[in-house]
A and B are shown apart, each in its own frame.
Chain A
Amino acid sequence: MQDKQSQEEIFFFDSLCTIEQAEELKVKLLEYLEANKRICCDCSRIKKADLSFIQTLYAFKRECKKRSKEFHLTGFVPSSVREAFSLGGFCNAAPENGEELEHFLYDF
């Protein structure tokens, strides 16, 4: 969910990022993409994430690339999200910092 009051440019993911919310997340991300030039996503509020979330994030990054928009991860990455990335084989290390994590993700 985009935090409009405090950090207008940052997209904050909701606490539940699982298959049940996947379609809704896609819609929100596309809206956010339309409205912003610089794309910055924050995972710190996520409590539960599954593979659908990781795939959506990859797809989002690729959409940004297609539209030549700059993409960044930011903020603290909770352990449940880091575990999903490393267990799923998307990186060989999953640091707590969003900016750092971005560089560790394979084929991102």
Chain B
Amino acid sequence: MIDKFVETFREESYELLGELENQLLLLEKKPEDKEIISAVFRLMHTIKGSAAMFGFDQISSLAHQVESVLDLMREGRIKINRKLIDGTLKARDLLIKMLDTGQQFVESLEEEAKEVIDFFKDFLPQKEASTSEEAKVVLETSESLSETTYRIKFIPQKEIFLTGTKPLHILKELSELGEYTCVAYPEKIPPLKEFNPEECLTWWEIILTTAKDLNTLKDIFIFVEPKATVEITVIENFSNLILELKDKRLGEILLDKGVINEETLKNVVRSQKKIGQILVEESIVTEQELKSALEEQHHVRKLREKQENTQVSATIRVSSEKLDDLVDLVGELVTIQARLSQSVMNLENSNLTFISEQIEHLISELRDTSMSLRMLPIGTTFSKFNRLVRDLSANLGKEISMQTEGGETELDKTVIEKLNDPLVHIIRNCIDHGIETPEAREKKGKSRKGLIKLTALHSGGQVIIIIEDDGEGLNTEKIREKAIRKGILNPEAEISEEQLQQFIFMPGFSTTENVTSVSGRGVGMDVVKKEIDSLRGSVSIQSIKGKGTKVILSIPLTLAIIEGLLTKVGEDYFVLPLSSVEECVELIEKEEIRSSKRSLINIRGEALPYLRLKELFEISSPKEKIEQIVIVKARDFRLGIVVDQVLGDYQTVIKSLGKMFKKAEGISGATILGDGSLALIVDINKLSEIAVKQEQKSHG
């Protein structure tokens, strides 16, 4: 149980540290932006507090040291410079390492932690470094001008100890924020024999006067909500509260002491005149004025209640494994539903058909909803590369900035995870080989600072990711030489620039003379291609010498379920991804323009190349009189795929092929049909490559 909560803490800390990195990189660009400074401080403060709560003392103490310096930064007492950002980024990396180890005390990192702590100590003035308490007093005095008083009601869930959370740590954190008064309510604690010491039966009411904002207070409770009840209200008129507390306490004290009993107290309260009543009787205020004031009071109370209610979090955290299981189950459901539909169709019973259609509709919605749960914006991955570009360009003495566009474009979580490595490879190449040194750029009349741009956009069922730089571009001459040397290109062959550029996706193909630690071992781009192929995607490159390079990735939105077009060739079934399908037409023999080397069809005046699946997959069945041709779009290329029959659209649950079929060209997966038979999913990109090769062959 505790492990589960510690795991949640770690997951959330990774997120916070990810955000911290983004904010630090932004801060480096805008060192005067107070909002960013506050965000950085808040993030470190939350990490410190939550680590302390879960007993990660080493993490908490490191974060505390950094936080002290960030606090001075917030006060404008320390100037933000690259050294400080570097140090904070280093501390952030160390915190990640500490979390990675998953232990509460990380001995191996102790030395590194000491180094980081010493670095930050240097930023603290002598007095503050030695007595941080005194430093806090100085800071708090300057903050006292805009203080707010909050009333906090904190009722932890009984099982809070089992989650590893320590309520006293939470209270300690609150006490550090300002003037703190806390009252515990231990009345639910029974006599020892009936008492379960692993349950928390105490709750608290805290009055806190602080210069910190509501978010800072909420952050302290981040790991106990939503199970615990946390109500934070701003007290508009603190003196009223004091009166209220005073009155409340008096009755309680007198009752507790046994001076009066409950009945006497009730009678006294009943006979007591209300302030409003006295004021009206004394003609100090009119009845109308009193009524209006009471209404106002009622209104404010209602608003406060409403505000409190809206503070309830609208999101929940679910483990990705559970989401994967859900998508798998939905996949199974889709398959079963297809079988049901088919069986019902054979029965020809209108009632059953109606129910089956309803189920189909619901399952289709369930599929879309469950798939959308796993969709994440690619921007999170993009922002990680800011750090890579920053650090690597500095190492290589280059000046490079990064721009992103379309970060909100969503992709399946699994696809995003698998995209990380290929993107790192490509960006490293851009930095190492693509973009020139500032001096070289100046000589070429370019700006000293190079640019890497990441763009994401939707295109049908695909997401297109473009990574472009404004560097020197690919040297096609060198590529040509290398291809000839490796024996993969005939020295006499006439080949376009674009075709030459595609050679860099071949294994072991690197034209760089200097192998660096960054890239250039020739294991980069072929690995990228392999990874992208495994995602059923495609990669291409466009480069202009002296101007820059553009790598274009085309990735399917999801790897789980797609809308497909079910077709039949002989006795075999094939599914074509519907997002690539443009139209279906009949292939009439006379319209074929066929020679021994070329297969073209005339579609409304356009000659399109086509492939016959029957020939490609060597299916022996008699040729149909009228075949169907499905026109698909792959990259910027239109292609016809000839099949015997088009059966209609089909929700395709993608199953991967076993190892034996891994090398089956043109097939990216399989699916199970309603009657239990198998259909193969056609890899449109691969087919287009085959078609291009055939075209090239036909041209000699």
Contacts and interface: CB of A to CB of B under 8 A. Distances in A.
A65 interface: yes
Given A50-B168, A51-B167, A51-B168, A89 B206 contact: yes
Interface string B259-297: 000000000000000000000000000000000000000
A66 B182 contact: no
Interface stretch (B184-192, B416-424, B692-700): B184-192
B206 A56 contact: no
Interface string A18-47: 010011011001100100000000000000
B189 A87 contact: no
Contacts, number: 86
Contacts of B161: 19, 51-52
B652 to A, nearest CB: 52
29 contacts: A23-B198, A26-B192, A26-B195, A51-B202, A54-B202, A55-B189, A55-B195, A55-B197, A55-B201, A55-B202, A56-B195, A58-B186, A59-B191, A59-B192, A59-B195, A59-B197, A62-B189, A62-B190, A63-B192, A66-B191, A87-B168, A87-B175, A88-B202, A88-B204, A89-B181, A90-B184, A106-B183, A107-B185, A107-B187
A103 to B, nearest CB: 14
Interface string B147-189: 0000000000000010000111001100100000111111101
B360 to A, nearest CB: 53
Contacts of A60: 192
Contacts of B181: 89
Given A26-B197, A84-B168, A87-B171, A59 B189 contact: yes
B197 A25 contact: yes
A94 to B, nearest CB: 12
Given A51-B167, A55-B186, A88-B168, 17 more contacts: A19-B161, A19-B197, A22-B197, A23-B197, A26-B192, A51-B166, A51-B168, A54-B186, A55-B197, A55-B202, A62-B189, A63-B195, A66-B191, A84-B168, A88-B182, A88-B202, A106-B186
Given A55-B200, A87-B172, A88-B168, A63 B184 contact: no
Contacts of B171: 87-89
B193 interface: yes
B183 A89 contact: yes
Interface string A48-77: 001110111011101101100000000000
Nearest to A62: B191
Main secondary structure of the interface of B (DSSP, over half): mixed
Interface size grouping (class) on chain A: 20 to 34
A89 B197 contact: no
Contact of B200 (A30, A51, A58): A51
A102 B264 CA distance: 30
A55 B189 CA distance: 7
Interface string A89-101: 1100000000000
Contact of B198 (A19, A30, A66): A19
A73 B193 CA distance: 20
Among B168, B187, B195, B197, chain A packs the most CB atoms within 10 A around the CB of B197
Nearest to A33: B192
Contacts of B205: 89
Interface of A: 19, 22-23, 25-26, 29-30, 33, 50-52, 54-56, 58-60, 62-63, 65-66, 84, 87-90, 106-107
A15 B332 CA distance: 57
A62 B192 contact: yes
Contacts of A106: 183-184, 186
Interface residues of B, number: 28
Contacts of B191: 59, 62-63, 65-66
A45 to B, nearest CB: 19
A99 B141 CA distance: 37
A6 B215 CA distance: 54
A89 B382 CA distance: 47
Nearest to A58: B189
Among B167, B172, B191, B202, chain A packs the most CB atoms within 10 A around the CB of B191
A87 B171 CA distance: 7
B168 A107 contact: no
Q: What are the 7 closest A-B residue pairs judged by CB atoms, nearest first?
A: A89-B182, A22-B197, A63-B192, A59-B195, A63-B191, A89-B184, A59-B192
B187 A30 contact: no
A86 to B, nearest CB: 8
Contacts of A62: 189-192
A93 to B, nearest CB: 13
Nearest to A52: B197
Contacts of A87: 168, 171-172, 175, 182
A36 B98 CA distance: 49
Contacts of A33: 192
A26 B198 CA distance: 11
Among B166, B184, B189, chain A packs the most CB atoms within 10 A around the CB of B184
B192 A29 contact: yes
A87 to B, nearest CB: 5
A72 to B, nearest CB: 16
Contacts of A52: 161, 197-198
Contacts of A19: 161, 197-198
Contacts of B175: 87
Contacts of B201: 55
Nearest to B187: A107
Given A23-B197, A56-B197, A88 B184 contact: yes
Given A22-B198, A55-B200, A87-B172, A30 B186 contact: no
A51 B109 CA distance: 31
Nearest to A18: B166
Nearest to B156: A51
Contacts of B200: 51, 55
B632 to A, nearest CB: 63
Contacts of A30: 192-193
Nearest to A89: B182
Contacts of A90: 184, 186
A89 B202 CA distance: 10
Contacts of B172: 87
A60 B195 CA distance: 9
B610 to A, nearest CB: 72
Given A55-B186, A62-B190, A89 B204 contact: yes
A14 to B, nearest CB: 14
Contacts of B168: 50-51, 84, 87-88
A32 B610 CA distance: 91
A107 B186 contact: yes
A19 B163 CA distance: 11
